């Protein structure tokens, strides 16, 4: 798994406008079926972790917990614990890099 490449890709997706960040916006995006992939910080609070994972499992959206809050925030340029990727191309590439 190449975390640096995925991190760079997250930054690129952010600049391309293909990222939704923040708890409520991510949940809304998952419910509306606009999300392809969710990144959740591995050090997020238990309540947030449960809320996001339950929603994503219900709607069939994969959740990855490979980054810390700091790594995720650095990748997209703002302080966030949860990030949704809305573009299928970015999502596919990120998943292939995770393997």
> For the segment 34-76, what is each residue's pLDDT rounded down to a tens digit?
999 999 999 999 999 999 999 999 999 999 999 999 999 999 9
Q: Give the domain CATH number at 49.
A: 3.30.1330.30
Number of domains forming the structure of the chain: 1
Task: Provide the 8-state DSSP code for 41.
Answer: -
Across 16-28, b (16+ Cβ under 10 Å) vs e yields eebbbbeeeebbe
Domain carrying residue 42: 3-98
Structure-token match 């994972």, residue found: 53
- Does residue 1 carry a pLDDT above 80? no
What global pTM score does this model have? Answer: 0.92
Place of tokens 């809320």: 51
State the Rg of the chain over Cα: 12
């Amino acid at each position: 798994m190449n975390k640096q490449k995925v991190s760079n890709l997250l930054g690129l997706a952010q600049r391309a406008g293909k990222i939704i960040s923040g708890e409520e916006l991510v949940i809304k995006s998952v419910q509306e079926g606009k999300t392809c992939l969710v990144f959740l910080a591995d050090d997020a609070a238990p309540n947030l972790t449960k809320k996001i994972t339950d929603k994503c499992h219900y709607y069939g959206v994969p959740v990855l917990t490979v980054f810390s809050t700091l790594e995720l925030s650095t990748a997209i340029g703002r302080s966030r614990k949860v990030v949704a990727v809305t573009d299928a191309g970015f999502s596919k590439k990120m998943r292939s890099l995770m393997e």
